[in-house]
Chains A and B, each alone.
Chain A
Amino acid sequence: GAGVSQTPSNKVTEKGKYVELRCDPISGHTALYWYRQSLGQGPEFLIYFQGTGAADDSGLPNDRFFAVRPEGSVSTLKIQRTERGDSAVYLCASSPDSGNYGYTFGSGTRLSVV
């Protein structure tokens, strides 16, 4: 597609449930990034893929968070045993490679844990 697509746009889940957030990057972009953003704050880095492998997962807050990108295109961010503190907007971005330029962001998934 023309841009980065994230689904769903909104997700409400109960505390303790499992959720999956999907990101479709721009076709041909080898680098894919996940960020988490609280209202009025800058996005916080979670994990970055170069191709199929996670090049840097240092931002994942704990082992309840996991992400995959099995074919080097679509990525899924998985959150187990959700907590109210996980409520945020989860943003995905892609770029042609892992260089300094060319990040394109999706509109995000707003996750609400109730």
Chain B
Amino acid sequence: TQLLEQSPQFLSIQEGENLTVYCNSSSVFSSLQWYRQEPGEGPVLLVTVVTGGEVKKLKRLTFQFGDARKDSSLHITAAQPGDTVLYLCAANGGATNKLIFGTGTLLAVQP
């Protein structure tokens, strides 16, 4: 079974602080995605990384794919209350290429 472990599971910080969320696996993936999910809504795709070592930036969010394509990180600079959502990593796995999600990181940014 391919597992994507996210850490931390829950994080509470003050507005303006920086943070990093990690997504780790023992499996190698051809690509990895990060989603954000607001309460009562489905996950929304933020970014897809495909190359080992790749770094992508989306405003205050920086995503990195590990060199071995087994792990990824999401770094948020100067967190805002609007960043208070569930962050999910996901990757295609298995013989049928289904999307497998990580365990999730719930971020709370206090104003």
Contact between chains at B30 and A100 (CB < 8 Å): yes
Binds A, one of B12-20, B54-62, B74-82, B102-110: B102-110
Question: Which chain A residues border B6 with CB–CB below 8 Å?
Answer: 42
Assess A45 versus B44: contact at CB under 8 Å? Given A40-B104, A100-B30.
no
In the assembly, what is the distance between CA of A91 and CA of B30, in Å?
24
Contact between chains at A98 and B88 (CB < 8 Å): no
Contact between chains at A41 and B42 (CB < 8 Å): no
Q: Which of A40, A41, A56 contacts B96 (CB 8 A)?
A: A56
Per-position 1/0 for B45-58, Cβ under 8 A of A = 10010100000000
The yes or no answer to A25 lying at the interface (CB within 8 A) is: no
Residue tally, chain A, CB below 8 Å to B? 25
In the assembly, what is the distance between CA of A100 and CA of B33, in Å?
9
Question: Which chain A residues border B103 with CB–CB below 8 Å?
Answer: 41-42
Q: Which of A33, A35, A41, A106 contacts B104 (CB 8 A)?
A: A41
Question: Which chain B residues border A105 with CB–CB below 8 Å?
Answer: 41-44
Contact between chains at A101 and B48 (CB < 8 Å): yes
The yes or no answer to A26 lying at the interface (CB within 8 A) is: no
Contact between chains at B98 and A56 (CB < 8 Å): yes
Which residues of B come within 8 Å of A, CB atoms? 4, 6, 9-10, 30-31, 33, 40-45, 48, 50, 86, 88, 90, 92, 94-104, 106
